[in-house]
Structure 1
Amino acid sequence: MRSRSTLAVAVSTFALVQIPFAAAQETPASPVTASDAPAAGTPDDVVVTGTRTAGRSRLDSTSPVDVLSAASLQHQGTTEVGASLAAIVPSIDFPRSSAVDGTDSIRPATLRGLSPDQTLVLINGVRAHTSALLNVNGSVGRGSAAVDLNTIPSVALDRIEVLRDGASAQYGSDAIAGVVNLRLREARSGGGATVSYGQYITDVNTARGSRTEHDGETVTASAWQGVSLGSDGFLTVSGEYLNRNPTSRGDFDPRKTPIRVRSRFGDPDVEQYSFYANAGKPIGDSGWEVYGFGGYQHRDSTSAATPRIAGGTGNNVNASADALASIYPDGFTPLIAVESEDLTATGGLRGELSGWKVDLNVSYGRNKLTFNTLNSGNATYGAASKTSFYDGTLTYDQLVSGLDVSRELPLGSGTVNLAGGVEYRREGFQIGAGEPASYDRNPSLPVPAPSTLGSGAQGFPGFQPSNVVNVHRSNVSGYLDLEAKPVEGLTLGAAARGEHYSDFGDTLNGKLSARYDFAPWIALRGTVSTGFRAPSLQQQYFTSTASVLSNGNIVETGTFPSVSPVGVALGGKPLRPEKATNLSAGVVLRGGGFDLSVDAYQIKLRDQIALSENLSGPVVVDVLKNAQITSVTAGRFFLNGIRSTTKGIDVVAHYRTRSDGAGTFDFTVAGNFNDIKLTKTPAPAVIADPLVPGTSATLPLFARQRIISFEQGTPRTKVVGTIDWSFEKLGVTARASYYGDVTQPSSNGFAEDDIHTGRHTIFDLEARYQVITNLNLAVGANNLFDTYPDYVKLTSSRGTTLNSTGLVGFPYYSPFGFNGRYVYGRVSLTW
């Protein structure tokens, strides 16, 4: 079935490609800028990502680059940058996870199915800071600390460039899968404002029944304004306000009468406001310019944890809920509130010195997450418990300063562009403790206390004083980048970058690239490179533990740094950087309003970092006791040891035609065909009991569940077809997105118990009308036909119960979410 679907997609793409290409060869025409994919040769087509040669277009580059205009981001029902990218670029996915704590609020994006932190994000070419959040739960991207793309309002963007190629030799750590460069709007005058409203109007069909939902009401108001600074400078300011109500897509809960939906499995409740500014001002006639950009976002996001049922019997007994029954007679659903404050500030100076282009900049970024648990309780306090708790903070900050120089020099009958630079980066990570009631056990409880009562706030226990960290590291790097055109039609590139980190030492990476244009309408291109990703501070030092009662003693279990006493006792070692080898080869065809690129790639990764399984049991307790650790009985930590090979093909076909009588048609069909295989994983740990000679335990470090998440947690096939039509005052955008099957692995190791999303096609439609010159109206629907992933069944084929509580209705690995049809309207005003 999968092969037939893939074949059908390939045939359709080939048919779309062949007809317009033949026509383009017969009747060449001047290219016109498209809304989704700018035509080659236009100002909007010039890219700065993946090349340091001025004037290079996306179709002239040695590596594949997608260019997404502001219009393509705006012609959707969402203003989220992550979701907008995923809707247009097949190689990017933006899963809408739920019931995974902070990851509900800070969602990561993936490129080519790799970890979210293996894609580098730039803002105007400067490294962006990551989120403070470390994803330690069971969602896609487990173990990563990635950039939160949604901290930047889409109204502030002029375009986005996505480099689908390894680029560590050019940009440093993280650029294994590729680079996303967010380029801010530049305007000296004019402005605009937009207000949109939408909600989900959907029929929800789960394993236990059906219902209709109208929820997720979303209001977005945004505006931007260009201001002239003197006769030659500019300042562009942008702002956005978003208010989104939560959604609920859980199944009916059978544990208590009446049977009803008790969970809130879906999108969180969000209120946020964002501001961004971008400015540049020449310094007289010196040829130098001072520039700066930055922004601030405040986001309040509230997601739901697992509902606690009071008064249950048999397997449904919840002692903690029963202990709080005087406060919540029918049980309760804890809410996890995450307050995110995100700041970016960058300033620089650029100009020309002795024929060299010089760019000096300094950037600071900071993300602080404050956690609170609401509608909850600490069961060990019973009726005296608080119902809301301050759980602590996570903070990450980054200071980057860089100097870049470049110059184009003659080389025989051609030219060579010589670029180089140095960079200094300082990173910091902090964990702040919550209030005692968020993590402790009631000190007045008898000892031994009831072991069935959980400590701290139900749903999200706070960070303990033993979890507090405040760590920093620094690194310096230097690079050299050459791009030459020695003869007509041939482009050669070479780059090398060396880095020194204060924690793990040195790394050196290189890249070679080549392209040959056989004729104006056909070119071949290819690259080979090495790459790396430094272990994040979050992965090295994140600590989160929970106090539990064991044999009358309060002990801790949770996540520990690999170099902590607990981590070392259990076999932890200092983390090494991940390393990659990238190969790519492709062809570019173009003529008239048509272009096609096909790029094959292979990414081999070694020393990948992952979170181990939780190690527990009598032998683990004895190992820790032997290391003089008696307050901990179990733990997990990050480790190296994974190797993988990713192979795939990216295809992008684009055609634009215009006629006086029918308007302008813009067609794009793009597909990503991706396959990931883990070729090596950490072997189970054989742990000898130091206190009982001859006794040992074999414990898994990396279970099947993690392997399947790596290999099948994102779609192996994704194809997006878009038609954009405009005629006089009318405009229509129609999009179809095909998603291959995604596997959400079972926790018991049986493939029959895995949950599958199925193969589905999602249709989006938007219509626009220009009422007067400066006023536009739009109406549309994302997921027009109300398509859902396959629902979670009650039992698997081997009889395992998969859905006993009704907590989840659909796989939270779904690459297109599980909210159904979203209907919206938008009013836009420009001046």
Structure 2
Amino acid sequence: MQKQFAPSKHMLALSIASLFASGGVFAQAAPPAEDTGATVVVTGTRVANRTALDTTAPVDIISAEQLKNAGNTEITQALSIALPSLNFPRPGLTDGTDTVRPATLRGLAPDQSLVLVNSKRRHSSALVNVNGTVGRGSASVDMNTIPTAIVRTIEVLRDGASAQYGSDAISGVVNIRLRTDRSGGEANVTYGARITEYDVVADAPPAGATWGAAPKSRSLTDGQAATVSMWKGLPWGESGFVTIAAEYKDQKHTERSGYDMRPAYLRINGAFDSREATFNRFDTWYGEPEMKQTTLFVNAANPLGNGVKLYGWASYQNRDAKSAANVRRAVQDQNLASIYPDGFIPFITPNVEDFSATGGVSWVMGEWDMDASLSYGQNKMRYHLENTLNRSLGAASPTEFFAGGFTYDQLVMNLSGVRTIAMDSLASPLNVAIGAEARREGYILKEGEVGSYVAGPALLANGTRAPAGAQGFPGFTPADASDSSRNAVGAYIDLEANLTSKLLTSVAIRAEHYSDFGNNVAGKLAARYDFTPAFALRGSVQNGFRAPSPQQQGFAATSTIFINGVATDLTTFKPTDAIAKALGAKPLDAEKSVNLSLGGVMRFGKASLTVDAYRIKIKDRIVLSENLIEGTLPGIVNFLAARGFRSAGGRFFINGVDTTTDGVDVVLNMPFNMDGGGRFDLTLAANANSTEVTKLPTADTLSAFNPAPVLFGRVNRLTFEKGTPRNKLSANLNWKLGQWGATARATRYGDTLSPGTSAAFDFTLSAKTLVDLEARYALTSKMNLAVGADNVFDVYPDAFPPALNSTGAAMFSNYSPFGRSGRFVYARASYSF
């Protein structure tokens, strides 16, 4: 592959040099007209003033008003109800994933979508999701680190774009465009709570129990959330701006536990403990986390004259969250009665700090519009444990620990140039965009305090060693700790022009070199043919890639288990670790994709209809392997011991899963006015999506085992294929009449599978429709009031039957595409100034 890369790199360099050198040969086209409004897009095209309906690929535009007209103030949640192809499940009991939740586009992994801010790459979260959720094994951008108050629009390109933007843009691109106001401002206060009721599904109590059957339903008011936000535009010089946004959010937790029928205490002389009758059997904190979050964002630019403009933005967020692990009952070996006589719920309280800063300058050089920028972003996550213990330390165990954490940072330097070249052979000027990018990424994993991971001397009543490490989240060990970095450089050329008055084409090629895995070349060819002003066909073919993330390469975690009373480490190994190699791991390589799309655009007066079908074939997807331990792979301990390793086995990241995703997006936008009845804006949208796993990874090093071990098992395969809705439909109606306004929204989520270890344990979540309503009134020209309810009819996902929920605690599946917290009722006051 190195030989293929070098000519491509030289060809790009010569092309770029010749284009700059040709500045005096071609006449420059007339300067573009001023931006005409929200329909003009910059994502997926580098042609000025291209509207969303005139592009070669589908682009959705979500306005600041759409983001605001909902009870939930998270950007990712707002996108999930605006875009049928984007889903945002809200898992619980999943450690750090409760705090940093990933979203999926077109049913693919969260890290296969690229997130930009003002068309510049945004840094990802330090968290890699290693629990059993949608997005397992991925490290994605946390869009909720961006306050909605700073957002002007969000553009979502539903098409692969690796040739244009680089790694990660396999399923699409989300480009968050910031406000550019030099005057005015707005303050918002939103307060709401979950006012809800759900049916309780529980098994019968055991024979002789001193507690009765579960109640048929629960009525709750919890999850109170207050959000205070504002933005203010300030002048900078004669025509520059400084736009400042701030947000504070205080959210209480929700609890959607099932009724735990298991005995909570040891029996006394064969009889149930009398405390069983009064024990709270809704004993699991399963729901939305508790959270306090402060965010500040600044965006600024100032023209200096002669075509030179300085620009930049910076953000900071501090997030303190609190979620829970599964309850440890008094009867369990993980508990110590002298510390917690009634058992305990371990609380995981991560702190997340997120920082970013971008500075740049744009200028005119001959006939080129040039741009250079430097961006830095850092995401840091630190784990603290409360209300827990390390059972192996006995009665001396602390009840709070620092469990360690990780940091991801990214430094990106960009240089680009855009120009148009008038050519007699073309129906429009040729738009030429070239650029280069250099990127450094770093990943640090820090160990926790000794007590959070150590295996102490305490024994259980049967004489075996007690469980080690902090309950709920064992700390990272010194062996897990790491500090690594990598570099990547790339260059691209992007051409777009009308070959005829009806045929628009674009071509892009990008070559990149990564210091850790090697080289990649991606290309894209797209076209659009306008048969009439009212009807056009568009399509594209391209190859793409996603580089393995530093988080996937550098993450490691160790917990201690006991085999025949001997303490043994069970580890998530780095792929380069010697033990991981013995188990079949190899250095991670890039995922590679081939994307095909074909769609149509129709206009009916002010209304429009787009239909876009796609196929995405991905090769060598990076996944987290199954646990290769004695319980799932008998003989693994002896296998490793024979090779000089003392380990109970483990898991690791590996390439090797191939998938094919087919789908179609349909979007209808229809504004209309009714005489005396106000203005209506109706959007109907639908997505149908299907993924098939066509290849699974294997490990030659484990060929001695019969049968061969499964590196990517049934649950994970079905999560890829059926873990997100097969279809999703949405209808959004906005109405405005004088001082009054309203929004009515309905979202239907299709069937989703919550997979089990065998077909007998599969559970299908049936299709559900959620309805959101909001009414608004302009009290004055500056003061606006709103009341509303998200999920007004209090819809819940199907609950597990008792046979699939032996603990009774987690009654709802984490695969639910809309969570399981019920109705959210809210009020909002806005003041413009």
Tell me the TM-score normalised to structure 1 length. Answer: 0.91
Q: Tell me, yes or no, if structure 1 residue 607 matches structure 2 residue 628.
A: no
Determine the structure 2 residue equivalent to 1:402. 414
Q: Tell me, yes or no, if structure 1 residue 221 matches structure 2 residue 228.
A: yes
SS of the residue corresponding to residue 487 of structure 1 reads: coil
Quick check: 2:77–2:88 contact (8 Å CA) kept in 1? yes
Quick check: 1:379–1:456 contact (8 Å CA) kept in 2? yes
Q: Hey, what's the Cα distance between the residues in 2 that align with 1:576 and 1:427?
A: 16
Q: Match for 2:524: what amino acid? A: K
**Cα RMSD for the two superposed structures:** 1.6
SS of the residue corresponding to residue 349 of structure 2 reads: strand
Q: Hey, what's the Cα distance between the residues in 2 that align with 1:166 and 1:174?
A: 9
Determine the structure 2 residue equivalent to 1:94. 88
Determine the structure 2 residue equivalent to 1:434. 448
Q: Match for 1:825: what amino acid? A: A
Determine the structure 1 residue equivalent to 2:723. 713
Candidates 626, 638, 657, aligned match of 2:642:
626
Q: Tell me, yes or no, if structure 1 residue 793 matches structure 2 residue 805.
A: no
Q: Match for 1:613: what amino acid? A: E
Q: 1:41 to 1:422 in 2, by over 3 A?
A: closer
Cα drift, residue 445 of structure 1: 3.9
Determine the structure 2 residue equivalent to 1:18. none
Task: Show the 5 A alignment for 1:388-787.
Answer: 388-412=400-424, 413-442=427-456, 444-445=457-458, 450-451=463-464, 453-617=466-630, 619-630=635-646, 632-683=647-698, 687=702, 698-746=708-756, 748=757, 750-787=758-795
Quick check: 2:460–2:466 contact (8 Å CA) kept in 1? no
Cα drift, residue 806 of structure 1: 1.7
Candidates 175, 185, 203, aligned match of 2:197:
203
Determine the structure 1 residue equivalent to 2:324. 304
Cα drift, residue 682 of structure 1: 2.0
Quick check: 2:392–2:465 contact (8 Å CA) kept in 1? no
Determine the structure 1 residue equivalent to 2:292. 271
Q: Hey, what's the Cα distance between the residues in 1 that align with 2:35 and 2:416?
A: 26
Quick check: 1:528–1:583 contact (8 Å CA) kept in 2? yes
Deviations 1:633-662 (A, max 9, x none): 211111111111100100000100124511
Cα drift, residue 684 of structure 1: 7.3
Quick check: 1:451–1:550 contact (8 Å CA) kept in 2? no
SS of the residue corresponding to residue 574 of structure 2 reads: coil
SS of the residue corresponding to residue 648 of structure 1 reads: strand
Quick check: 1:159–1:183 contact (8 Å CA) kept in 2? yes
Structure 1: state its 5+ residue gaps: 1-39, 312-317, 690-694, 796-801
More displaced stretch, 449-458 vs 639-648: 449-458
Q: 1:123 to 1:551 in 2, by over 3 A?
A: same
Determine the structure 2 residue equivalent to 1:115. 109
Q: Hey, what's the Cα distance between the residues in 1 that align with 2:492 and 2:515?
A: 18
Q: Hey, what's the Cα distance between the residues in 1 that align with 2:568 and 2:238?
A: 68
SS of the residue corresponding to residue 812 of structure 2 reads: coil
Cα drift, residue 519 of structure 1: 1.3
Determine the structure 2 residue equivalent to 1:14. none
Cα drift, residue 571 of structure 1: 1.3
Q: Match for 1:375: what amino acid? A: N
Determine the structure 2 residue equivalent to 1:27. none
Cα drift, residue 683 of structure 1: 4.2
Quick check: 1:416–1:486 contact (8 Å CA) kept in 2? no
Q: Hey, what's the Cα distance between the residues in 2 that align with 1:202 and 1:698?
A: 49
Cα drift, residue 450 of structure 1: 4.6
Cα drift, residue 688 of structure 1: 5.8
Count of equivalent residues: 768
Determine the structure 1 residue equivalent to 2:144. 150
Q: Hey, what's the Cα distance between the residues in 2 that align with 1:651 and 1:445?
A: 61
Quick check: 2:488–2:514 contact (8 Å CA) kept in 1? yes
Q: Match for 1:229: what amino acid? A: W
SS of the residue corresponding to residue 344 of structure 2 reads: coil
SS of the residue corresponding to residue 293 of structure 1 reads: strand
Task: Show the 5 A alignment for 1:123-202.
Answer: 123-202=117-196
Q: Tell me, yes or no, if structure 1 residue 381 matches structure 2 residue 410.
A: no
Q: Hey, what's the Cα distance between the residues in 1 that align with 2:528 and 2:641?
A: 61
Q: Tell me, yes or no, if structure 1 residue 249 matches structure 2 residue 256.
A: yes
Cα drift, residue 433 of structure 1: 0.6
Q: Which runs of 4+ in 1 moved over 6 A?
A: 446-449
Quick check: 1:756–1:811 contact (8 Å CA) kept in 2? no
Cα drift, residue 593 of structure 1: 1.6
Q: Hey, what's the Cα distance between the residues in 2 that align with 1:411 and 1:253?
A: 74
Candidates 811, 819, 826, aligned match of 1:824:
826
Q: Hey, what's the Cα distance between the residues in 2 that align with 1:722 and 1:195?
A: 24
Quick check: 1:686–1:696 contact (8 Å CA) kept in 2? no
Deviations 1:596-633 (A, max 9, x none): 00000000011111111111235322232233222x22
Q: Match for 1:121: what amino acid? A: V
Quick check: 2:583–2:701 contact (8 Å CA) kept in 1? no
Determine the structure 1 residue equivalent to 2:378. 366
Quick check: 1:216–1:247 contact (8 Å CA) kept in 2? yes
Q: Hey, what's the Cα distance between the residues in 1 that align with 2:458 and 2:676?
A: 82
Cα drift, residue 247 of structure 1: 0.3
Q: Hey, what's the Cα distance between the residues in 2 that align with 1:810 and 1:551?
A: 36
SS of the residue corresponding to residue 199 of structure 1 reads: strand
Q: Hey, what's the Cα distance between the residues in 1 that align with 2:790 and 2:578?
A: 51
Cα drift, residue 551 of structure 1: 3.6
Tell me the TM-score normalised to structure 2 length. Answer: 0.91
Q: Hey, what's the Cα distance between the residues in 1 that align with 2:165 and 2:408?
A: 21
Deviations 1:313-372 (A, max 9, x none): xxxxx1121xx1111111001011110000010000002110101010000000000001
Deviations 1:391-412 (A, max 9, x none): 0011000000000101011122
